[in-house]
Structure 1
Amino acid sequence: MTTEPPTAPEPASTPEPPSAPGRPQRRLDARSLRGLAHPLRMRIFELLNLDGPATATRLAERLGENTGTVSWHLRHLAEHGFIEEEAGRGTKRERWWRRVPVSNSLDIGDFRDDPDTRGPLALYLHQLVQQYFDRVNDYVTEDWPDEWRDVGTIADWSRLRLTPAQLRALNEELAAVVDRHTPAPDAEPDPAALPIVVQLQSFPRRPRTSDNEDERQRSAG
């Protein structure tokens, strides 16, 4: 694992990276944002996204929550189109749920002038960053064999100076690289492969003046 001093991340503007080509996409509106913006619902959705279908009972065990509470939040996620019941599996008492195969995107600019969504948006972004942190923390604290420990990375690059258009182009190029390494849904899995999470935080930082510059400015004034 290679590491470099991290910089403080700013919340990402999308709930997930771009999906593989061909997957339908949905741009979240105010209603769907409110449907997702809850800490437990976001944790449930994350588990279904990362680990596949599950029942309320299994999810409750993993999350340390009451089964009835998890069931209520599952129905809420389904109502807003994030998950669906897996047909032909389970019973009336034990339903299996899976995420809807749609790539969800969120543009913060859509809600900038809507005071009613500021609370849900802030909660959603805070929880999203927390999920990213938890994933990294799990990786660095778990015991991994050397062949996996040596290839992971936690790094940042802080010497770039870009315009908004250049930053957008950088993010699009990085997403394209990930897409090239994403196997097709019908591809035969490699027995030596494990699920991989790629997390990207790219954001502007306001320049700070040094102490010497501050002193010179005060003297000049």
Structure 2
Amino acid sequence: MPDPHRRLSDPRELNALAHPVRMAIIELLSVSGPLTATELADRLDETPANCSWHLRKLAQHGFVEEAEGGKGRQRPWQVPGLGFRWDDEHSSGSVDERRAAQALSEVAMGRALERLHEAQQRVPDEPEEWRAAHSNTEMVAWLTAAELKEMNQAISAVLDRHVERLTDPSKRPAGSRLCEFVAWGVPTYFPGVEPA
């Protein structure tokens, strides 16, 4: 299984990934395994030439690599690792790193929100068991910095519980579907509400 969660800090790496087509390529290779530029183009409604160009840019930074089999245009690509972590735009890194991290966060969250909207639109067409399993959660709480960090770590541990199922289809239970969880734990700012 690929190593999870490559840590990104170089602004050039962050900027290379902060593109909707490149992010979509990484997502598809992560959940579908090796694919050719033509297969990616079909799924993304892009041209094979455009996907090839983006694959080469991703390969320059080690985000993708050639997979076994195939030649030329039939050459499959794969991800060498599963997932990424980067410090958010409020980190103590350089100005360039913070800007690049913010751009990448905006692309990643934007794509996740698009998938959330699509899932919400499809809810009426889902079987009852999937409608009942579907959930959106939002909350605010008064926490210390230590409590916020602990909650974020606990949520990450829960989200990583079934990560091996992405790369090993034999571990997927019958009837399972690809599902997405998006979480962030950050201080929030309401007008007139000051820290305790």
Q: Aligned letter for 1:67?
A: P
Q: CA 1:97/1:169 → structure 2, altered by over 3 Å: closer, same or farther?
A: same
The TM-score, its normalising length taken from structure 1, stands at: 0.74
Superposed CA offset, 1:168-211 (max 9, x none): 1001112222334555665543222112222112221123238x
- 2:129 counterpart residue number: 147
Q: CA RMSD in A?
A: 2.6
Residues 88, 102 of structure 2: 8 Å contact kept: no
Change (3 A) 1:48 1:176: same
Tell me which moved more, 197-206 or 67-76. Answer: 197-206
Q: Among residues 95, 105, 109, which one is paired with 2:85 in the alignment?
A: 105
Q: 1:183 to 1:144 in 2, by over 3 A?
A: same
Q: How far apart are 1:53 and its partner, in Å?
A: 2.0
Count of residue pairs brought into register by the alignment: 188
Contact kept in structure 1, 2:3 and 2:82, CA below 8 Å: yes
- Determine if contact 2:29/2:35 at 8 Å carries over to the other structure: yes
Aligned partner of residue 199 in structure 1, secondary structure: coil
Are residues 1:96 and 2:96 paired?
A: no
Query: Would you say 1:65 and 2:52 are equivalent positions?
Result: no
Which structure 2 residue ranges, 5 or more long, are not aligned? none
RCO comparison, higher one (Cα < 8 Å, 6+): 1
Higher Rg: 1
Secondary structure of 1:195's counterpart equals coil
Task: State the identity as a percent.
Answer: 34
Q: Which residue of 2 aligns with 1:79?
A: 60
> Is 1:201 aligned to residue 184 of structure 2?
yes
For 1:121 and 1:33, the matched residues in 2 are separated by 6
Which residue pairs with 1:128 in the alignment?
A: 108
SS at match of 2:72: coil
Distance between the aligned counterparts of 1:116 and 1:188, measured in 2?
41
1:70 is displaced (CA, Å) by 1.0
Q: Contact 2:9 / 2:97 at 8 angstroms: preserved in 1?
A: no
Tell me the SS of whatever aligns to 1:133: helix
Structure 2 residue matching 1:122: 3-state secondary structure = helix
Question: 2:105 is aligned with what amino acid?
Answer: L
Structure with greater proportional helix content? 2
Q: Counterparts of 1:80 and 1:97 in 2: how far apart (Å)?
A: 14
Match of 1:40 in 2: 21
Q: Deviations over 1:11-38 (max 9, x none)?
A: xxxxxxxxx9x93553212232122122
Which TM-score applies when normalising by structure 2? 0.82
Structure 2 match to 1:217: none
Asked if structure 1 preserves the Cα contact closer than 8 Å seen for 2:37 and 2:52, the reply is: yes
Of 146, 150, 159 in structure 2, the residue corresponding to residue 169 of structure 1 is 150
Give the AA of the match of 1:156: E
What secondary structure sits across from 1:27 in the alignment? strand
Q: CA deviation at 1:154?
A: 0.8
Secondary structure of 1:71's aligned partner: helix
1:20-35 correspondence to structure 2 within 5 Å: 23=3, 25-30=5-10, 31-35=12-16
Unaligned stretches of 5+ residues in structure 1: 1-19, 211-221
